[in-house]
């Protein structure tokens, strides 16, 4: 029975030795009572010593990198002290050949005898050079990436600041220029009115004066709209809770005369409450309602339906790019039965001074929808349109919830 157990134990030891050799793991065993130490062949090789050599602990320590040697000595001393907790885990470099050092990890433990005194110090040591090299490469790549990100972030910040200043200067210029131009325009309008009302002029001259007066009026309207557009960038009206249903009803009251004149039918559904700038959103809805009534089909009673739904960010159409990311958005649709337009022009209609129809057929400056888009952006949202010529148009305003 004892012979069988001994054979089984020897077999297990042999298997363990084979596994350690295959994994290139070295072992050591130090008997504190007899002061005898054993180091495996692989252990010696990891310290750059000949396999057949008879080495000591001091010789092994000499093979440790000078920068790591004192740390290893102190760690060994702690493991062999009476206060040792029994655990030993250390990473250091060993000298393999001239200018060739390898990273190794030593893991072991101390054992105590029945009297509680330290009796053995055993463990394993294995090469982790490739792991260290990969960690160093990863660290360098991470540092380089962080450096590039920091540079890119700074570049974007500076570009954003420059763009912000440029926009502010441009808006200020537009505001000042249009404001200063209004005074001479008022004089042109006043003088042309006086000439038309108080003086007898030839028919052709009267026509010229009328053209001057009409052009001046159109220019005044254009400057008014340009001022309104520039104010969206230069004036920062604070946000507040808004009931959009109440705000839209106020817009309809402002448009009451035009609604009565056209016989328009307005179907207003309940709208959500949002945080917004009342003056800007009032201007946006005024422009959209005015568009629906202005671009009506001849002989057809204008109809406008206003309603809202809530969408998740994933449900937004591809062409809608809100200026602020949110989990969900309100979509407010204003659908009319007007003349409509070809959808290939949908991006063009939101540009300043862009018109799809002649001024003689439909008056306007081409700034109204640009103002709508600017207001939508100021509120963290966006605006787009769907249309079919001769059928009608739906403007969709997106606002973050």
What's the gap between Cα 301 and its chain centre? 46
- Specify the fold of 2-127: Beta-Lactamase (3.30.450)
pTM tops 0.75, yes or no: no
- How is residue 295 written in tokens? 């671009």
CA dist., res. 128 & res. 31, Å (int): 27
CA dist., res. 293 & res. 131, Å (int): 73
Higher-pLDDT residue of 130 and 229 is 130
- Specify the fold of 129-235: Helix Hairpins (1.10.287)
Q: Mean pLDDT, to the nearest integer, of 156-166?
A: 81
pLDDT digits (tens, 9 = 90+) for 212-247: 767 777 677 767 666 777 667 655 668 899 999 999
pLDDT (0 to 100) of residue 15: 65
Residue 9 pLDDT exceeds 60: no
Domain ranges of the chain: 2-127, 129-235, 238-400
- Specify the fold of 238-400: Heat Shock Protein 90 (3.30.565)
Question: How long a stretch of residues is the chain?
Answer: 401
Residue 322 pLDDT exceeds 50: yes
Give the least confident one: 103-107, 155-159, 262-266.
155-159
- How is residue 115 written in tokens? 């009297």
pLDDT (0 to 100) of residue 1: 46
pLDDT digits (tens, 9 = 90+) for 93-108: 999 877 789 999 999 9
Residue 363 pLDDT exceeds 60: no
CA dist., res. 187 & res. 177, Å (int): 17
Q: Mean pLDDT, to the nearest integer, of 2-8?
A: 60
Q: Which residue has the tokens 């084979």?
A: 18
Higher-pLDDT residue of 366 and 299 is 299
Map the chain to HEC letters. Answer: CHHHHHHHHHHHHHHHHHHHHHCCEEEEEEECCCCEEEECHHHHHHCCCCCCCCCCHHHHHHCECHHHHHHHHHHHHHHCCCCCCCEEEEEEEEEEECCEEEEEEEEEEEEECCCCCEEEEEEEEEECHHHHHHHHHHHHHHHHHHHHHHHHHHHHHHHHHHHHHHHHHHHHHHHHHHHHHHHHHHHHHHHHHHHHHHCCCCHHHHHHHHHHHHHHHHHHHHHHHHHHHHHHHHCCCCCEEEEHHHHHHHHHHHCHHHHHHHCCEEEECCCCEEEECHHHHHHHHHHHHHHHHHCCCCCCCCEEEEEEEEEEHHHCCCCCCCCCCCCEEEEEEEEECCCCCCHHHCCHHHCCCCCCCCCCCCCCCCCHHHHHHHHHHHCCCEEEEEEECCCEEEEEEEEEC
Mean pLDDT of the chain: 84
Cα separation values, 366 from 30, 219, 291, 350, Å: 92, 12, 11, 9
């Amino acid at each position: 029975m004892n012979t069988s157990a001994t054979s089984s134990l020897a077999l297990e030891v042999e298997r363990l030795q084979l596994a350690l050799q295959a994994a290139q793991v070295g072992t050591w065993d130090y008997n504190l009572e007899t002061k005898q130490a054993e180091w495996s062949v692989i252990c010696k090789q990891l310290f750059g010593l000949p396999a057949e050599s008879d080495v000591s602990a001091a010789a092994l320590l000499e093979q440790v990198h000078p920068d790591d040697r004192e740390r290893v000595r102190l760690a060994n001393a702690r493991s062999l002290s009476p206060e040792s907790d029994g655990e030993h885990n250390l990473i250091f470099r060993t000298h393999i050949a001239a200018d060739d050092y390898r990273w190794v990890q030593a893991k072991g433990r101390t054992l105590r005898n029945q009297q509680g005194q330290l009796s053995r110090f055993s463990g394993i040591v294995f090469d982790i050079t490739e792991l260290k090299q990969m960690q160093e490469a990863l660290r360098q790549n991470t540092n380089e990436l962080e450096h590039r990100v920091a540079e890119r972030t700074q570049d974007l910040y500076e570009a954003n600041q420059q763009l912000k200043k440029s926009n502010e200067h441009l808006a200020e210029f537009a505001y000042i220029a249009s404001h200063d131009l209004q005074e001479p325009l008022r004089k042109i309008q006043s003088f042309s009115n006086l000439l038309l009302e108080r003086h007898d002029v030839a028919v052709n001259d009267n026509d010229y004066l009328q053209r001057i007066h009409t052009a001046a009026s159109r220019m005044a309207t254009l400057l008014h709209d340009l001022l309104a557009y520039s104010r969206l960038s230069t004036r920062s009206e604070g946000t507040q809770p808004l009931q959009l249903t109440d705000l839209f009803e106020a817009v309809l009251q402002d448009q009451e005369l035009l609604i009565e004149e056209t016989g328009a039918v307005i179907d207003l559904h309940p709208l959500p409450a949002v945080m917004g700038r009342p003056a800007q959103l009032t201007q946006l809805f005024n422009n959209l309602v005015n568009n629906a009534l202005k671009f009506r089909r001849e002989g057809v009673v204008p109809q406008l339906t206003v309603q809202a739904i809530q969408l998740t960010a994933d449900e937004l159409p591809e062409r809608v790019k809100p200026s602020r990311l949110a989990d969900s958005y309100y979509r407010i649709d204003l659908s009319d039965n007007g003349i409509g337009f070809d959808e290939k022009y949908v991006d063009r209609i939101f540009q300043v001074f862009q018109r799809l129809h002649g001024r003689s057929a439909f008056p306007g400056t081409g700034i109204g929808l640009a103002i709508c888009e600017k207001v939508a952006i100021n509120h963290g949202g966006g605006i787009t349109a769907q249309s079919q010529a001769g059928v009608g148009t739906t403007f969709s305003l997106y606002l973050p919830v």
